Amino acid sequence: MKGMSLIVKSITTVIIGFIFIYGIYIILHGHLTPGGGFAGGVIIAGALILRILAFGSEAGGEKKSEKSASIFESIGALVFIGIALAGLFLAGVLFLNFIPKGTPLHLWSAGIIPFCNIAIGIKVGAGLFSIFLALAAVKYVMED
Amino acid sequence: MTFIPLYFILPLAAAFIIPLLGKIAKSLIWILVTLVSFALFILALYGVAVTQQAPMLVYEMGNWPPPLGIVMAFDSLSAFMTLVISIIVFTGSVFSFRYMSHYTGQWKFYTLYMLITAGMMGISITGDLFNLFVFLEIAAISSYALVAFGVEAEELEASFKYMVMGEVGGLTLLLAIALLYAKTSTLNLADMSNALQIIGQTPFFWVVLGMLLFAFSIKAAFVPFHSWLPDAHPAAPAPISSLLSGVFIKVLGMYTMARLVFNVFGLSRANAPIFFNLLIGIGLLSIAFAGVTALSQKDYKRLLGYSSVSQVGYIMLGLGIGNYYGIAGAIFYILAHALGKGLLFFTSGAVVHATGTRDISKLAGLGEKMSTTAWSFRFGSMSLIGLPPLVGFFAKYFIVLGALKAGFLWLAIVAIGLSVLTLGYLLKIENNVFLKKGKIQANKAPFTMRVAMVFLVVMIVLLGIGFQQVVDFLVGPAAHALLRGVEYANLVFGSIAVSF
Amino acid sequence: MIIFLSCIILFLIGLYAIVTKRNLIKIVIGFAFIEYAINLLFALIGFRSGMLAPIITQIDMPHRFVDPIPQALVLTAIVIALGTTALMLSVVLRIYNRYKTFDIAEIRKLKG
């Protein structure tokens, strides 16, 4: 896959960080504003995909990206299941909200929900990125 | 009580540990999968034992009571389905140790295998309609990927066809759920049962029921929506074929339909005789059409696929008859067909692993070279044809008894008569593959594959000889769980007041 | 009522695309239509006229919200549709790689 022009490349280097931070903001404030884990995860995946699209596969790092995306995906899912099981073992019922719920409308409130959002955000971001790599890696289809 | 969510959390956790393990130590993957399947088997036995005393166990997720939260409603029918699923999953994982050795990317196979197990277990134990849809989609998407696993041309085509038809069914189910939510404002099965009794049998009721019947008929492969099955089941690897034919089409099609028709919509032969006659008609059509088509097949697994479509018709026949013996026969037939057809697909896997072809005309002379496989095939087909004292005979006997008690003498005669079709196509394989003399080169099946097949043979014989205990402890309570009808809702709300 | 009917019409357009089109990609687009129609229907079911969006922004809000459950269900349905579409597209790409065509009439190796 070829990269794009110089203008796109230079703007991408500036803007990827901002997109990433915006995604993290949406994930973290999932219990206060619309969005949450899935929407924030999609934005993070967008940042990762933008890097591959702008620089092309000649910049390298695709195999390493595939491996680390797979690892992050499994870690995200396992953290989510771990939170559910922690509810089961520590307090008796699956998915019980066992972390103290602070004052409402602050960042620290609503128990386990921010942590679940973070785990889902990591999983969705890594998952969508690996879907993109799997579809884009079918190189020999499109270049004939 | 806290064992109930373990049914789907264990396979789900295993499914996500496997990619991490796959980078460290490949040989640990199979051990993990077999351990988890065995743990599920023990849990299922424990669940059957617990539901002998308490007819309904309710588990609230996150301590939210229904109808606010999602609940798991575990009654005898759920215990029965989890037992059947865990038997086939366990033997399948033992079988796939050697069978999957000539595929690449084995960790992907085991991840999908655990995901499909988690999906099917979740469907069996849930008491919430949207939760049922989510688990159904998890299992269905894993099965689409598993059918396309070895990425040859035929398998991809079969998987795409299966995917299109399966997704149309799934989306129709989602539309029906949307309409049901609009009318009843709840997603809990027990609460919806109460609301639907108040609404009564209006045209809306029948339209939504028709949509649900359409969606589940696609998943369970009834004629005329069966055309994906004879392409998809042969294309899948053999342990997946036995899982799909053995439990998948029954959990996703028959169990969900029985749960919704009997417990949520509250229909019975007394208040909706036309609907039950429609079910009998669909059952007969499936048995006859698929049975006749199976007689002309030349591919080993394709013939077994048409046989699955035909046998699922028997289950629908039993459910349509509607009295205790009919429903108990249908549930018993779920167990008998899971064991029998699972075993037959394992033999097909052993044959393909040894010889590399599925064409019946080329496979002569395997009877002497692969004796364990041949004898497993004979036991499995005798059970499906319905010869005493194997478990298939008692299942068919109950269905026929139910037909006689409901006054359908012609139906009993037709059901027995159509068993001749089963005899015909299974004898075709027996003659051409195992009885004829031939010069084919084949080794015996590997040890783990033979262990899996012999385990299923032993289960078929034991459950057949001890059929009275099976009926008393397993099938009878499950049939009563369905015949209870709308008492299901009272039981769910009642046992919440008792515990927690 | 008109809005629900237009959702059903969108559903039927998607169904028409799946059943009659010959190009594999058009079948996948038909699925996107159907999923869009169902999600829209779901979200519209929860609407109550004159109420606010179900987000609490101050401590003492008057509790007059539209129904939040269909919105959660739509979120789940969108994720499931994403997984299905991704799987479908990767199978379509590999079919193109093997058969060298997107036409469904030529992909007929399985018979009988």
Nearest CB to B153 within list C83, C92, C109: C109
CB burial string B52-81: b at 16+ within 10 A, e below = eebbbbbbbbbeeebbeebbbbbbbbbbbb
Q: How far apart are CA B5 and CA A52, in angstroms?
A: 41
Give the per-residue pLDDT at A52. Answer: 85
Q: What's the pLDDT band for B141 if we cut at 50, 70, 90?
A: very high
| B1 pLDDT above the threshold of 80 | no
Q: What's the pLDDT band for B36 if we cut at 50, 70, 90?
A: very high
Q: Which residue of C has its CA nearest to A134?
A: C90
Phi and psi at B395, nearest 5°, equal: -65, -45
Q: Which residue of A has its CA nearest to B20?
A: A71
Q: Lowest mean pLDDT: which of A92-96, B202-206, B337-341? A: A92-96
Q: Is residue C94 part of a domain?
A: yes
Q: How far apart are CA C112 and CA C110, in angstroms?
A: 7
- On whether the CB atoms of residues B457 and B379 are closer than 8 A, the answer is yes
Q: Lowest mean pLDDT: which of A91-105, B58-72, B135-149, B279-293? A: A91-105
Delimit the domains of chain B by residue range.
Answer: 148-498
Residue C40 contacts B, CB cutoff 8 Å: no
Question: Could you give the C-alpha distances from B89 to B15, B100, B166, B243, in angstroms and in order?
Answer: 14, 15, 22, 7
Place of tokens 């134990």: B125
A72, burial (CB in 10 Å: exposed 0-12, middle 13-18, buried 19+): middle
Q: What's chain C's Rg over C-alpha atoms? A: 20
Contacts of C27 (CB under 8 A, 6+ apart): B164, C17, C18, C21, C104
Task: Compute the average pLDDT of residues B140-146.
Answer: 93
Cβ neighbours, 10 Å, residue B378: 16
Nearest CB to B17 within list A67, A78, A95: A78
Nearest to B168 by CA among B114, B117, B218, B98: B218
CB burial string B17-33: b at 16+ within 10 A, e below = bbbebbeeeeeebbebb
- On whether the CB atoms of residues C84 and C27 are closer than 8 A, the answer is no
Place of tokens 């079919």: C95
Q: Is residue C17 part of a domain?
A: yes
Please report, as a single letter, which amino acid is at residue A112: I
Q: How far apart are CA B355 and CA B370, in angstroms?
A: 11
Domain residues for the domain of C21 are: 2-50+66-99
Give B72's DSSP letter: E
Please report, as a single letter, which amino acid is at residue B492: V
Task: Compute the average pLDDT of residues B463-491.
Answer: 82
Domain residues for the domain of A110 are: 6-142
Work out the percent of chain B whose per-residue pLDDT is above 70: 98
Q: What's the pLDDT band for B322 if we cut at 50, 70, 90?
A: confident
Nearest CB to A105 within list C59, C90, C97: C59
CB burial string B111-132: b at 16+ within 10 A, e below = bbbbbbbbbbbbbbbbbbbbbb
- On whether the CB atoms of residues B127 and B189 are closer than 8 A, the answer is yes
| C111 pLDDT above the threshold of 70 | no
Q: Is residue A1 part of a domain?
A: no
- Indicate yes or no: CB of A138 within 8 angstroms of CB of C55: no
Work out the percent of chain B whose per-residue pLDDT is above 90: 23
Q: Lowest mean pLDDT: which of B301-315, B437-451, C7-21, C27-41? A: B437-451
B partners (3+ CB pairs within 8 A) are: A, C
Higher pLDDT, B36 or B492: B36
pLDDT tens across B359-378, in order?
Answer: 777 777 777 777 788 888 88
Q: What's the pLDDT band for A138 if we cut at 50, 70, 90?
A: low
pTM for the model stands at 0.93
Q: What's the pLDDT band for C76 if we cut at 50, 70, 90?
A: very high
* pLDDT averaged over every residue in chain B: 86
In chain C, the number of structural domains is 1
Q: Is residue C8 part of a domain?
A: yes
Task: Compute the average pLDDT of residues B29-36.
Answer: 90
> Which ranges in B148-261 belong to alpha helices (H)?
153-184, 189-199, 203-220, 229-235, 238-243, 249, 256-258
- Indicate yes or no: CB of A81 within 8 angstroms of CB of B12: yes
| B89 pLDDT above the threshold of 90 | yes
pLDDT tens across B203-218, in order?
Answer: 888 899 999 999 999 9
Q: Is residue C91 part of a domain?
A: yes
Place of tokens 């099917």: B120
Q: How far apart are CA B147 and CA B30, in angstroms?
A: 20
Nearest to B147 by CA among B224, B230, B254: B230
Give the per-residue pLDDT at A137. Answer: 65
Q: Model ipTM? A: 0.93
Residue A104 contacts C, CB cutoff 8 Å: yes
Q: How close C97 gets to chain A, by Cα (Å)? A: 6
Q: How far apart are CA C92 and CA C112, in angstroms?
A: 23
Phi and psi at B272, nearest 5°, equal: -150, 65
Q: What's the pLDDT band for B497 if we cut at 50, 70, 90?
A: low
Place of tokens 């969006």: C53
Q: How far apart are CA C112 and CA B342, in angstroms?
A: 23
Task: Compute the average pLDDT of residues C22-26.
Answer: 89
In chain A, the number of structural domains is 1
Instruction: List CB contacts (< 8 A) between B157 and chain C.
Output: 95, 107, 109-110
Contacts of B122 (CB under 8 A, 6+ apart): B7, B8, B131, B134, B135, B138, B139
Structure tokens at B288: 């006859």
Nearest CB to A38 within list C58, C79, C93: C79
| A142 pLDDT above the threshold of 60 | no
Q: Is residue C58 part of a domain?
A: no
Question: What are the contacts of A17-24 at 24+ separation with CB within 8 A?
Answer: A19/A43, A19/A44, A19/A46, A19/A47, A19/A50, A20/A44, A20/A47, A23/A47, A23/A121, A23/A125, A24/A121
Q: Is residue A129 part of a domain?
A: yes
Q: How far apart are CA C39 and CA C44, in angstroms?
A: 9
CB pairs under 8 A between A and C: 26
For chain C, give me the number of helices (H) and strands (E)?
3, 0
| C58 pLDDT above the threshold of 50 | yes
| A16 pLDDT above the threshold of 90 | yes
Give the per-residue pLDDT at A143. Answer: 45
3 state DSSP class of B271: coil
Give the per-residue pLDDT at C112. Answer: 45
The angle formed by the CA atoms of residues C101, C107 and C111, to the nearest 5 degrees, is 165
Q: How close A55 gets to chain B, by Cα (Å)? A: 28
| B238 pLDDT above the threshold of 90 | no
